Amino acid sequence: MSKLENKISHTLEGIKVLDLTRVLGGPYATQILADHGAIVTKVESHLGDEVREWGPPFAKNMASYFINVNRNKRSIALDLKKTAGKKILLKLMKETDILIENFKTGTMEKWGFGYEEFLKNKFPRLIHCRISGFGSKGPLGGAPGYDAIVQAMTGMMTVNGTHESGSVRMGAPFVDMGTGLYSTIGILMALYERNKSNKGQFIDMTLYDSALALMHPHNANYFLTKKPGKATGNSHPNISPYDKFKTASNEIFMGIGNDAGFKRLCYALNLEELANDARFRTNGDRVKNRVELTKFIEKALSNVDGIKFSEKLLSAGIPAGPVRNIEEAIQHPQTKERNMVLEKDYYKGIASPIKFSRSEDVGVKFTPPLIGEHTIQILKEQGYSEQEIELLLKDGIISTQN
């Protein structure tokens, strides 16, 4: 039996998702679901998700920021401020398993679509996931949340950078992406529980909570020491050696997490005497004497080829690798081996990292949609006639681009 014949359907095939999110955390979550077979309908205003404009670069008049988290979705453009638009949304909900939104807290309730007040009883199997900055209650309840702002407010920036640089924003939007991942996990948990209870539920996700949860080991260190973390550059607050180092040819990063690995590193660097040096015998000793240890390692590495030495360390079971830029990483043979780049027409993106032994991911079924690109198609599937659709277009309730 061939590998293809041994595959089964996509893991989330048949699951229907109504995506009322914008920007990053929500769209990233729904793209994960779409990549594994969920039918995702993205609901936008006539202006569309604002990150469509977050460029350059652009392709098909869509910014890379939008393109990267909106594949495998269909888009319907509705004016949800009007009653007729809300009626279409309500009709779409009838067949929906998962509703995910990141409106300002209280918006769904204002429309009469609050979970406790309406959705819970109207659609008892519906899973409603809300993503907000801080939730609806507390001193920050209802406040808008953006990745970098939440990084600043949760201590994340204070442990990034160096003593000289001061607090620095993380170079990738880890709060948004992390919240998208946590939201996906919560949705899948709720789907699993629904199989037993036959009931949906409300999932209350916030950027603030997710950022705090991602702050390992700094939060754990604080609970034991009562000292807030501080920026340590590339080094690790709890492990040594765990840092970026210069070699004769390029920079490499090494992370030695146990004593056996440290001994192997010492022998690879011809520093056998350090393996039994009392200053470096345990990880705790090495963290305490980090400065002295780093000097020995830097001197030993100054005459070696970084790429070849990294390969030597990896073959010896020592975590190490050259510092590459984005282009070098994407074009590396390992990236190709793992099938991590997707292409279709103009579209290129990073594939889902989730790989099953039998189930397949979708690949690129739909390239990222134009605003309302599938509006008419979706409405026809809901039973709307040509005349009804024409009237909705005329009244500005719906719009479409194709």
Give φ, ψ of 16 to 5 degrees.
-110, 130
Angle at 341 between CA 309 and CA 191, to 5 degrees: 110
Q: How far apart are CA 2 and CA 243, in angstroms?
A: 44
Name the average pLDDT for the chain. Answer: 95
Look at residue 352 and tell me if it is in a domain.
yes
* Residue 194 structure tokens: 């629904």
Interacting residues of 257 by C-beta distance below 8 A, sequence separation 6+ = 239, 242, 283, 319
pTM attached to this predicted model? 0.92
Interacting residues of 325 by C-beta distance below 8 A, sequence separation 6+ = none
Residues involved in catalysis: 176
Residues 165 and 300 reside in one and the same domain: no
pLDDT over 70, % of the chain: 98
Biggest CA–CA distance in the chain, Å, is 85
Using 50, 70 and 90 to split pLDDT, how confident is the model at 8? low
Q: Which of 282, 298, 330 is the last residue of a domain?
A: 330
Q: Is the pLDDT of residue 217 over 50?
A: yes
* Residue 297 structure tokens: 């390692």
We report the CATH number of the domain holding residue 258 as 3.30.1540.10
Q: Is the pLDDT of residue 105 over 90?
A: yes
User: What is the per-residue pLDDT across 284-340, written as a single tens digit (0 to 9) for each?
Assistant: 999 999 999 999 999 999 999 999 999 999 988 899 999 999 999 999 999 999 999
CA distances from 238 to 158, 215, 262, 285 (A): 16, 14, 15, 11
We report the CATH number of the domain holding residue 38 as 3.40.50.10540
- Containing domain of residue 262, as a range? 242-330
Question: Do the bridges between strand 98-101 and strand 127-132 make them parallel or antiparallel, or are there none, so unpaired?
Answer: parallel
| Contact assessment for residue 20 and residue 43, using Cβ atoms and an 8 Å cutoff | yes
* Residue 124 structure tokens: 């008892």
Residues 319 and 364 reside in one and the same domain: no
| Contact assessment for residue 297 and residue 273, using Cβ atoms and an 8 Å cutoff | no
Using 50, 70 and 90 to split pLDDT, how confident is the model at 402? confident
Residues 59 and 208 reside in one and the same domain: yes
Interacting residues of 141 by C-beta distance below 8 A, sequence separation 6+ = 105, 134, 135
pLDDT over 90, % of the chain: 94
**What domain count does the chain have?**
2
In this predicted structure, what is the pLDDT of residue 4?
47
